[in-house]
Structure formats: structure tokens, C-alpha cells
Structure 1
Amino acid sequence: MAGNGNSGRPAKPASLHILQGNRSKKNFDELIEEIKSPAVPVAAPPMPDVLSDDAVAEWERLIPDLTALGLISTLDQMALATYCQAYADWLRYQRLIAQRNAQSTDDLGGDIQTFKTGAQQMHVLRQLANDAEKRANAAGAQFGFSPMARRNLKTAPAPQGELFPNEQRDAATRYFS
């Protein structure tokens, strides 16, 4: 059996084929077309109306950057909403923990919960905050919200710009034209 679509090395983006000299001899026009028109159009998905206020603020903060980088489409509503709500949950629990720590008099800062029997465990707010952090990190990795996740993203190449800045370009024009 030959394997499935996940077997082997991941496909190289068209921009890398061109930059590295197209050693695989793929059709140059097809590579250029792939760069110009991504498979999924870049557009902001509609924001769900069930998000909390902090999640809405995070959504509005991220959409312009994700759109500019070409990392968002209308198909990504669930993934982005999951990240934003997990982030909002994490913020809420962190605020509650800070409030509890400000009122706490013990050395542990309120992160340890002690029962009547003397048994101790991590406070439920800390457990909830840790869970929200894991959910936010997992959902955020899909959009490259960590250095390791960004390494694996396929993004459209940024425009290269001028080879020489203004005064160097002028000097190059004088001497080499």
C-alpha cells in the first residue's frame, strides 16, 4: 500500500520553488498563478454573536493582522472563535486569581486549596486558567500565534520592495547606467 495524503514530506510552497530555482521543473506559469491566487480567498469571517466582551476585543485585534498576512478566510470562523473565547476565559480566570491572591494571607498566594480534612490541591481557578491556556495555545497554533507554529505556516511572500534604498539606488543608477 502506498500511503495516504499525510505520507512523506509536505509540499513546498510555490514561492519557495521559484526562489530556490525550481529544481523540480514545475510549470513556471502555474507556480506564479498559485502565488497570485490562494486556494482559499483571504477574508475575515463573520464574528459569532456568542463571544464574550474580551473575546470580541481579541477578535477585533486579530482580524486586521491575519487578513494582512493572508492567514484568515471565511472558513476559519470556528477556529478563530475558539481561540478568542479561550483567550477571554484565560483572562477572566487570571483576573480572579489576581483578586484572590490580593486577598490571600498565606505564602502560597491562593493557588493551593486546603480542605477541612487537611488535603490540598491546586485551586479550581488555577485549573480552569491552565485549561483555558491550553485551549488558546492549541487553537492559536493554527494561526501561527507561537514561534514554532509560525515556522510551519505557508504564507504568501511579502513584497520584496526596492533592491536599493533611495540614495543607494540613485548612486547605482549614476554609476551603472
Structure 2
Amino acid sequence: MSAEASAPDLRAALRDRYGERVRLSESFGELTAEVAPELWPDLAAFARDRLGMTFFDWLTGVDEPPDRIAVVAHVYDIAGRRRLLLRTAVDRGAPRLATLTGVYRGADWHERETYEMFGVVFDGHPDLRPLLLPDGFEGYPLRKDFVLAARVAKPWPGAKEPGESGRATARRRRPLPPGVPPDWGTPEG
């Protein structure tokens, strides 16, 4: 397929290759191809080798509670100035997916970050070790159920809540930040 192929040709090529196994959608002029996890590395290789998407831009996760984590990669055809979003979803309870480092070397760092922030294990990755968080850190900070302890332990340095201005007005209970359980961080007694 030539690099000058238009966006409808991307759709046709993906349909010819994957048929009903690919879900195509478009948003803001960008085509998204979503496949099952077992087709993930094949989709990336097809995008690179047959569609001309030789530039790997980025890869990340998207937490989709209650049961999925989506993995999304953005690739680009430099000569044809075309974009393609590759997407799949893994089980949130045991998130595993084949690595794309054999297809796009640039996926290495992005997969390490996605592993660390979302807990997605990339099978076959050459060096899946922590990248950003300190040693011994527990949890996955970009999952929606991760409690941001700093929001509870340290008050927000902004406008005062009613009752904090020093005037004799009724004081109301301070609301907890989103995602914090109601009994988390409350003093016992």
C-alpha cells in the first residue's frame, strides 16, 4: 500500500485484513482501530509494514472500571501525514498484553510507564522495571480506585471553607476529595 493512500483506504485495508475482528471508529478526524488483545501485536505490525505507520508516537492505558483497562497506541505515517490510533482492552483483574517492542522500539519506555501506572504486564518486554515511582511504592496511581492520600492528609491551600474564616458561623463537614472512601483518614475516638 502506498504512503499516499487516503483515509478511506486505511479503513478498507483494515477491513480486508481483519474483517469483523476490528472495530473502526473516527473521532475528530482520527481513525481508531480496536482489536482483541491476541491481535494487538499483529495490528501494530500491519500498521507499520502495510499501512506505512512507521512513526511510533505514544502508548498509554485508560482505566475503564469496573472490569477493563484499555491500552492505546498512536502511530503516524510521516510521508502520507496520516494518523492511526490502535486500541485494545485487557481484564482489569489480571491485565496482560503482548509487548510491541519487537514492532516499535519506541514502545519500550511507554510500556514501562503503563506497567507502573496501571499495572498492565507486557509479556515479552525486555526490561519491565519501575521507571518513575520510588522503590517499594504500592498501587497503580493512574487507576481510578487509587486513593490520593495527599489530598486527605494535607488541606487544599485555597479559599477557606465555611467556618474557617474566624467568624462565628456554623461549621460544616469538609467534603472528601473524589475517590476517597468516607471513613478513610478519619481520627478514631
TM-score normalised according to structure 1 size: 0.22
From the CA coordinates, give the structure whose radius of gyration is larger.
1
More helix by share: 1
Bigger strand share: 2
